[in-house]
Each structure stands twice: as C-alpha cells, then as structure tokens.
Amino acid sequence: MRVQRSLTKLTGGEKLSTLELIILITELSLPAIAAQITQVVMEYVDASMVGQLGAGSSAAIGLIGPTTWLFGSLMYAAVMGFSIQMAQYIGARDRRKAHDILYEGLTVILIVSVLGGALCVMLSGPLPVFLGGSEEIVPLSSSYFRIYALGAPVMVMGFYFGAMLQSSGKLLVSGLIQIIICIMNVVFNFFCIFDEVPVRLGDTAFKGLGLGVAGAALGTVMAQALGLLIFIICMFKFNDSWHYEGKAGFHKADLQKAFRIALPLAVEETILQGAQIASILIVSPLGTVSIAAHSLAVTAEGLCYMPGNGVQQAASTLIGQSTGAGRKDLIKKLSVLVVGFGMLIMTVMGVLLYFFAGTAMGVMTPDTEVRELGTAVLRIEAFAEPFFAAYIVSSGVFRGMGDTVTPSVISMSSMWLIRIPLAFFLSARMGLRGVWIAMAVELTVRGLVMISRLAMKKQK
C-alpha cells in the first residue's frame, strides 16, 4: 500500500517530497473523514428518529448530552495517553515497547471505563434534575443516561482499539469499522425506538421494541458491542504489536508518561465539557424549544467539524511517528500542510452549512419553531468553521508531539473567559442566538491563538 510505503520512508529517515507528504496526508485523512461524516449522518438519522417523538424527546437527550460528552472526553484523554506513545514507538521502530504499551493501556482503560460507567449509573437519577430539566423530560433523560452508562465499557474499549489501529497507520481499517458501527447503530435504533417498523421479509412483518428515548441509547450500545468485536479481530490481524513474542511487561515510566499526556487532556475536557454543561444551564431557562433547537443544531454542526476531527487523527499519527523517528526536518512542514488541509475542508463545509442549514434541521425535526431557530443559529456558527478547524487540527499536531498542555490551556482559557461570560450576557438579550454568537466568537479567537502558538513552536 502506498500509505505504508510512505510511512516506512518517514520512519526510516528517507526524504519525502512535498507532493508525497500532501498525498500521504490526504490518504490518511480521507478514511477518517469518511468515518466521521458517517458518524454525523448516523446522528442525523438518530436525531430524526427521536425528533419524530416530539420536541420533549429531543430536549431530553440534549439535556444530558454534554454529560455524555464529558464522560467520553475523559475516556478519550486516558486512551490518548497510550495511543500517542504507540505512534511514537512505532515511529522509533521499537516493537517491544509498542507491544508493552498496547497491553498496559488495555488493562488501564478497562479498569477506568468500568469504574466510570458505574459512577454514571449512580448519577443517572439526580443529574437531569440538577441540569434544570422539566418534569416532562427528566425521566427520559435519566433512562437514556443509565443505559448509556451501562454500555460505557464496551464503547470505550472499542475506541481504544480504534485509536491503536490509527496510531499504527491503519486509519482505513479503523475508518471502515467506524462506518459499520454507524450503519448498525441506525438499524438497531430503528428497531429499539419505534413500535411499528415498516420493514417486511416476504409476508413477515417486524415489530420494534418501542422504547423511545431509551431505545436510542440501547441501539447505540448494541452497535458499539458489535464494533468492539470487529475491532478485536482486526487488531489481531493488522497490528504487529499484538503478536510480538514475549510477555508484556508493566513499566512505571510508560504509565507515568501516559499520565503526563492524559492529565492535561482530562483537565481540559473536564473544564470544556463543564462549560458545555454551563451552556445548558444558560439555555435551559429559554424553554423546551430552545433546548431542542440547541441540541439538534449541535448535531447538525457536527457535519462541519467531524471532517476536521478526521484530519486531526491523521495529524496525530503523522506527527507522532515523525517525533518517534526523530524527523525534526518534517514536523514543521507536515504541521503547515495538515493544518492548511483541515482549514480548507472545513471552510467548504462552513459554506455548505450556511446554505443548507434549513435542510439539515428539517431532516431532524418536523417542529417548525425548533427548525427555524436551529437554522438561524447554524448560520451564525458557519462563519467560525475555518478557525475551529485551525484549533482542531493544530491540537492534533501538538498531541502527536506529546504536548497536551498547550492546546488544553488555550481551549480552557477561551471557553471560560470568552464563551461562557459572553453567552450569559447575550442570552438574556438575544435568546439562543446570543449563545451561538458567543460560541462563534470564542471559536474564532481560539483558532487564531492556536495557529499563532503553533507557528512559534520550537522543536526540541
């Protein structure tokens, strides 16, 4: 495969032309972008299914959404502590260390995900009340979050194996598995949410479980369980570190480095998602329509920034392997190319979002008020997408270098010093539109600061 040949040249110290680097970035990014876009399409379909149940059901998931993001982000931080090391050891061609870090991470992530899921189960009852949910939506939010929490270890382990495949350069394999998960999620959700399923096999009609909002969580967990099985099979087949002869050892230095990488990320994600929860507390008093529009618009916006996440994955892999291989000659050049690539893609996506915001919202909800308000806020956000791309991809570059502190400090500062105060001020005067203006302003500032800091970054 051309990608593997180029990565071999990169880790082997051979020269790579600018054209070869652009092709490598593109070929690593496209599978991840495809997987991310498929995930957003899945979320669109899920949101559309739940939206058919009414604005209250959409608001129920929107209310608890930032908390599920917080849990997922903390697990992401823990996984990054090991997957970044995996990329660097592969870049250094140290198979033994890559083997050890794979099994060390597997043990740690399993323990952390089980404990985290248990904590979320305990919080599933009181949390929606604390977040200001109405009597209509609190029971729905609680049941959704409880099922999500019970399936958390399965979802987190799937993410772990996917990250390890990506670190070894197998972004195509990981992306295809994510696409399968997304498709199965739609199928399972369809059968779990509704009573009547318009599918027949000959004369045989199928009935759904009719679980409503809870069915959306159950369908997702079932799809993730299937995905985990596929990830394990592919890890066994495609990741050489899995087959290294000899018993894996636990090394204090590896665990300490994982902690140093993960801690700033965990703090960042806790504070960022805490800010998202604070945003929900700002949005909640605006009413059910605003909560539903906010939740669905966040899902719709994902179509813009998920491609950026795909490029970020490629950036972390390339910079991580370059760092491990000692290729200081390539890191700066790769950084410029990959950030520019991400900004170009998300600029195009921002333009599309502006013109098709109404269509995107119309797919997810039949409620006219929700649709119109969601369309308005999405068009506000479209202007910030190029700068959001700068932040997303630059953070992938920093993380590939092993620096998780810089993006953490920048994102935490901008979120709490700009977005939350401005959203609080503007929401009282402009409603949900004010909240999204604050978001667009903050993302623009964050992106500009991030690329400025990356330009000043010196290689050690």
CB 155, CB 74: distance < 8 Å: no
Task: Give the residue among 399, 249, 388, 245 at the shortest CA–CA distance from 321.
Answer: 399
Confidence at 40, pLDDT banded by 50, 70, 90: low
pLDDT category at 248 given cuts 50, 70, 90 is: low
How far is 182 from 46, CA to CA, in rounded Å? 10
Q: What is the pLDDT of residue 351?
A: 94
% of the chain surpassing 70 pLDDT:
87
pLDDT tier for residue 77 given thresholds of 50, 70 and 90: confident
> Higher pLDDT residue, 241 or 293?
293
CA distance to 12, 86, 161, 259, 441, per residue, from 99 (Å): 20, 8, 13, 18, 44
Select from 426, 436, 451, 284 the least CA-distant residue to 374. 436
pLDDT tens per residue, range 115-174: 999 998 998 888 888 877 777 788 888 888 898 889 989 988 988 888 888 777 777 788
pLDDT for the residue 43 = 61
Q: Which residue is it, tokens 């920034």?
A: 305
Q: Give dist(CA 373, CA 369) in Å, integer.
A: 6
Lookup result for tokens 């050890």: 100
**pLDDT at position 275 over 90:** no
Residue 54 neighbours by CB under 8 Å, 6+ apart: 367
> Residue 242: is its pLDDT beyond 70?
no
Q: What is the pLDDT of residue 339?
A: 92
The mean predicted confidence, pLDDT, of the chain is: 82
> What torsion do the CA atoms of 348, 338, 44, 428 make, to the nearest 10 degrees?
-80
- CA gap 415, 27 in Å, rounded: 33
Model confidence at 111, pLDDT cuts 50, 70, 90, reads very high
The b-or-e profile of 87-97 (16+ CB within 10 A means b, else e) is bbbbbbeeeeb
Q: Are 146 and 124 in contact (CB under 8 A)?
A: yes
Which carries the bigger pLDDT value, residue 337 or residue 70? 337
Q: Which of 103-107, 234-238, 338-342 has the highest average model confidence (pLDDT)?
A: 338-342
Of 218, 53, 211, the C-alpha closest to 136 is 53
The string of pLDDT tens digits covering residues 423-446 is 999 998 899 999 999 999 999 999
In Å, how far are 208, 222, 256, 351, 363 from 196, measured between CA atoms?
6, 20, 53, 38, 20
Q: What's the pLDDT at 164?
A: 85
**DSSP letter assigned to residue 35:** H
Once rounded to an integer, what is the mean pLDDT over residues 383-402?
A: 90
* pLDDT value of position 384: 93
Q: What is the residue-wise DSSP string for 186-234?
A: HHHHHHHH-SEEEEEETTEEEE----THHHHHHHHHHHHHHHHHHHHHH
pLDDT score, position 372: 92
- Written as one letter, the residue type at 78 is A
In the predicted model, what is the mean pLDDT of residues 361-373? 85
Q: Find, among 108, 74, 21, the residue nearest to 318 by Cα.
A: 21
Phi-psi group of 107: left, alpha or beta (phi > 0 → left; psi -120 to 50 → alpha; rest → beta): alpha
What confidence score (pLDDT) does residue 334 get?
Answer: 87
Helices (H) and strands (E) in the chain, counts: 17, 2
Sign of the Cα torsion 168, 169, 171, 173 reads: negative
Q: How far apart are CA 85 and CA 324, in angstroms?
A: 9
**Is 70 exceeded by the pLDDT of residue 232?**
yes
Read off the pLDDT of residues 282-340 as tens digits, 9 standing for 90 and up: 887 888 888 888 878 887 887 777 788 888 888 888 888 888 777 777 888 888 899 99
Give pLDDT, residue 204.
62
What sign does the CA torsion over 164, 169, 170, 174 have? Answer: positive
User: What local confidence, expressed as pLDDT, does residue 244 receive?
Assistant: 55
Alpha-carbon span 453 to 223, nearest angstrom: 40
Q: Which of 418, 426, 423 shows the shortest CA–CA distance to 449?
A: 418
**What confidence category does residue 376 fall into, taking pLDDT thresholds of 50, 70 and 90?**
very high
Does the pLDDT at position 199 exceed 70? no
